[in-house]
Structure 1
């Protein structure tokens, strides 16, 4: 089967040419996605929301002006710009009666858009770039789909003429180069060997860094901060170079000071508002509290360390790089809508989980090595690599509410242990024959059959998949 280009995997094979849309006809021109984007140096992915009342006219007018201006500057290779609009709906799961609204939102625009029918691809894109429902967002991609900026809308409003387009963000070490970090109230008691008075980012020990975006006025933040402080101390006992930098969204210096007083890490000073804003833009922070982790080279390991911490409160798997085999949680249940999986259902006893890992791990390791998927990469890079075909997850479903939800989606009996291949993108499931012993060999044979399309799949009822898709 022909391998899809990155642009086709992200946006589908065809795009709407928006200027051919009109109210009097459902006919419009479609163009080849790959042909349009092969000549672009920068692709803007504009996520808009059709069914909410937002004052977005200023933004879209500035984007149109920039688009036209850069088209007229086509001699500048760096500024060959194309835009794909992704029209979505906030707080609305019923797509059937709003196709006309989709068309109206795109009429008269000079760029291209994903077709209305590409609902699954749009949902997948919104998860990939962590789009917040109801918040128009401009993501910039370079050649080969590499992310340039995850929140370029702010830069467009600051620089509507595009003088500094494509607004490539500065790396974190440059953003913090001239900043003297502020020690938290308990920093020196936790860092007894740290004697420097001027704490700068570059003098922090070489190791994993956490960036904690939070605020004193935010109740979930105040609830999470003591938990984070506790896990911070646990991690530093085995990883003493681990450090966290607090980036505040507080609204007053007094609130900031009160919050920092309980923290054992360092903080960007409150008066450094431009630095705090630049860090939030650099990482596309959509909400708080957010804890992200960087490796020693400044590459993102995970944007969702808060969830990792909740699922691994003893920090056994810190710094939470991808693993060949994972426990099924809500996060992985969501990913099942994007990627097929081999799932082994067992009860929650530790010995059963160890058994599940022991029989799944060899097949998973072989699969990932065969497909050159790097488990030393951070989670963001890892899950981008999974977008290349083939892509397969290996999950252990212990006795939990999430496992019950998955059983309900695919119509599985309450049998343990149970090995299944679940392909929600294609709405199908295959079950290992009852009575066959689950071993390394039988699991490996089952996986090979799936990859070779030799399994006997049965269809999953559509309404069950759709009903649970946005749980």
Structure 2
């Protein structure tokens, strides 16, 4: 275990957890998060739903049996697995009974749970692991906080005795090793000199997209033509770019209908086990989903569909994480979790370049200081950030999203305007009026914001 990563426990799960086992008291006892899970090889985050508990009963029983078996068979002082249960509530149901239902879900269980009142933490974990409402989910994490699996409930049902625990997923090249990929209906128009029998290893080195979709899904049918246009556009610049389609269709006829229009490669319909394993490997929660892998097989983005919607000409393809981003609805949602430095400017392209030239040096210095390398971005990179107060850097253009944020904070409609926004702590700060906005003054403001040496103003209505 890496001793420098011991703080990830509290960053991910908070400072205290509930002990569920054998307590008849009204309030379940609390314990230190690091002490409770720090002596475990694997940590399982078990997301369940209090108001549809019947759907979780079978999975809970199997998970309990596995938990007791693995830890009773273990000859070491370390636990093979520790479980932290995260009890959620389906949004469209009445919330008033949640507290009593929350406790009922946990009584008599042998593991730990997030406290009832950790509402924001539960929401953050749900977004992080893309938990689908109403679907009980088991996420497995190793001792350093790295994700092993985001859909281990499927493996639990297949292997209830944990013979192959912790079910580390096979890499994609192994999953597809023996699969002969099919050409889409228009594949050879884009690849006139390609061999007939194509395997994953035969695809030239380059960015690869995995497209999870189905003909029965209306949003999929709408997105596929957009993706086809992007695919052809990108291949003019990067001819090694390739997409592989993984179908969720329910019949060969439906599958054949959608494949006829596709210019890329396809996992055959009869390879149902392979299609299911790929969906488990990447934790696919819904369709359409487009993810991109770099040349080493590492995930660049799980949300290329949204990236394409925001960048229809694919000018920023393959949409690697950047130090400075435009304030869109997607990044606005992250303001609920992390503070940000936002530079509001007009929507003209010259103003965007100006904003990026001001913010980028400050952002680069911040990420260098906290050892965040965007060129080797991983899903769990925030766990290695020394400062819990992770900071985003955003350009607020003339848009509805910018207007909503301005209204929330109560900002004047002036540009350029440099603001530090800290919604988690319900406060913000504005760089003093009259100071020339340049690289040095921006960096100075960022340092002061980080250190709390600015004049904070409370956010109204928060």
Contact 1:79–1:165 (CA under 8 A) maintained in structure 2 = no
| Gap change, CA 1:3 and 1:262, over 3 Å in 2 | closer
Correspondence for 1:18 among 1, 20, 33 = 20
1:358-380, Cα deviation, whole Å (9 max, x unpaired): 11111111111222210112363
Q: CA deviation at 1:381?
A: 4.7
Contact 2:147–2:380 (CA under 8 A) maintained in structure 1 = no
Give the 5 Å matches for 1:12-411: 12-22=14-24, 25-52=25-52, 54-75=54-75, 80-91=80-91, 98-194=98-194, 196-378=195-377, 380-382=379-381, 385=384, 388-411=387-410
Runs of 4+ in 1 over 3 A off after TM superposition: 76-79, 92-97, 381-388
Contact 1:42–1:78 (CA under 8 A) maintained in structure 2 = no
Name the CA distance, whole Å, in 2 between partners of 1:450 and 1:433. 12
1:17-58, Cα deviation, whole Å (9 max, x unpaired): 002543xx4332211111121111011100011123642211
Q: CA deviation at 1:426?
A: 1.1
Corresponding residue number in structure 2 for 1:5: 7
Name the CA distance, whole Å, in 2 between partners of 1:274 and 1:78. 34
Contact 1:73–1:79 (CA under 8 A) maintained in structure 2 = no
Contact 1:212–1:244 (CA under 8 A) maintained in structure 2 = yes
Corresponding residue number in structure 1 for 2:437: 438
Name the CA distance, whole Å, in 1 between partners of 2:89 and 2:185. 44
Paired residue secondary structure (1:19):
coil
1:205-256, Cα deviation, whole Å (9 max, x unpaired): 0011100000000000000000000000111111111100000000110111
| Gap change, CA 1:264 and 1:385, over 3 Å in 2 | farther
1:143-164, Cα deviation, whole Å (9 max, x unpaired): 1111111000011111111111
Name the CA distance, whole Å, in 2 between partners of 1:384 and 1:236. 35
Contact 1:301–1:380 (CA under 8 A) maintained in structure 2 = no
Paired residue secondary structure (1:64):
helix
Cα RMSD between the aligned structures? 1.9
Contact 1:44–1:138 (CA under 8 A) maintained in structure 2 = yes
Corresponding residue number in structure 2 for 1:469: none
Aligned residues: 459
Q: Which runs of 5+ in 1 are unaligned?
A: 466-471
Paired residue secondary structure (2:52):
coil
Q: CA deviation at 1:451?
A: 1.8
Name the CA distance, whole Å, in 2 between partners of 1:145 and 1:235. 35
Q: CA deviation at 1:307?
A: 0.5
Contact 1:211–1:245 (CA under 8 A) maintained in structure 2 = yes
Greater Cα shift, 99-108 or 303-312 = 99-108
Name the CA distance, whole Å, in 1 between partners of 2:360 and 2:213. 37
1:308-352, Cα deviation, whole Å (9 max, x unpaired): 111111111111111111000111011111111000111211111
Paired residue secondary structure (2:414):
coil
Q: CA deviation at 1:422?
A: 0.5
Paired residue secondary structure (2:455):
coil
Paired residue secondary structure (2:224):
helix
Contact 2:145–2:380 (CA under 8 A) maintained in structure 1 = no
Paired residue secondary structure (2:28):
coil
Paired residue secondary structure (1:319):
coil
Paired residue secondary structure (1:309):
helix
Q: Which runs of 5+ in 2 are unaligned?
A: none
TM-score (norm 2): 0.95
Contact 2:11–2:388 (CA under 8 A) maintained in structure 1 = no
Contact 1:21–1:106 (CA under 8 A) maintained in structure 2 = no
